[in-house]
């Protein structure tokens, strides 16, 4: 029976194995860091959506529906702007209607920025019926 004189791996085999392992680890780290960055951005958008929905719900309840503009900051990071204005089109009287509700457009914009990154923006827009106005005053 022949006995092999080789008792281990050669230096070249070890270097090739380390090079392959380093490349594989580099790819895995890039994949995981990309996933973490995506999760952070998704969390930021989730917070912006919650802020915008909250501001949208307040319009007409805490603040009157009339042409106005409000702005502020949440959590020292998210800047918001609410613009309330009459809609570009209004309801037309038909038949014997004496009073018509006014239609308002509400725009909510929430923006934030990361270090050395472009600012991100989330916007919501809706139409809402406001106070009743006499049809003859139009």
pLDDT value at residue 35: 87
Answering whether pTM is above 0.85, one says no
pLDDT at 138: 47
Determine the pLDDT at residue 3: 62
Which pLDDT value is given to residue 32?
A: 86
pLDDT at 99: 73
pLDDT at 17: 93
Residues forming beta bridges with residue 125, ordered by sequence position? 107
* pLDDT averages per 10-residue partition of the chain, 138 residues: 70 93 93 87 95 94 90 94 91 71 93 86 93 56
pLDDT of residue 64: 85
d(CA 81, CA 59): 12
For tokens 């918001």, the residue is 80
Phi, psi of 61 (to 5 degrees): -110, -60
The tens digit of pLDDT for each residue in 100-125 reads 788 999 999 999 998 767 899 999 99
Q: CA–CA separation, 44 vs 120, rounded Å?
A: 9
User: According to the model, what pLDDT value does residue 1 have?
Assistant: 57
- What ranges do the domains of the chain cover? 11-91+98-137
Q: In whole angstroms, give the CA distance from residue 120 to residue 75.
A: 16
């Amino acid at each position: 029976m022949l006995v092999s004189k080789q008792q281990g791996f050669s230096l070249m085999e070890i270097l090739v194995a380390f090079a392959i392992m380093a490349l594989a680890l580099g790819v895995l780290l890039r994949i995981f860091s990309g996933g973490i960055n995506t999760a952070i951005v998704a969390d930021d958008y989730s917070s912006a959506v919650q802020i915008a929905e909250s501001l949208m719900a307040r319009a007409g309840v805490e603040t009157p529906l009339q042409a106005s503009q409000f702005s502020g900051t949440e959590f020292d990071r998210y800047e918001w702007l609410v613009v309330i204005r009459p809609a570009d089109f209004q309801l037309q009287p038909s038949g014997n209607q004496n009073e018509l509700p006014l239609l308002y457009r509400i725009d909510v914009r929430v923006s934030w920025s990361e270090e050395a990154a472009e600012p991100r923006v989330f916007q919501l827009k809706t139409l809402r019926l406001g106070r009743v106005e006499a049809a003859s005053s139009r």
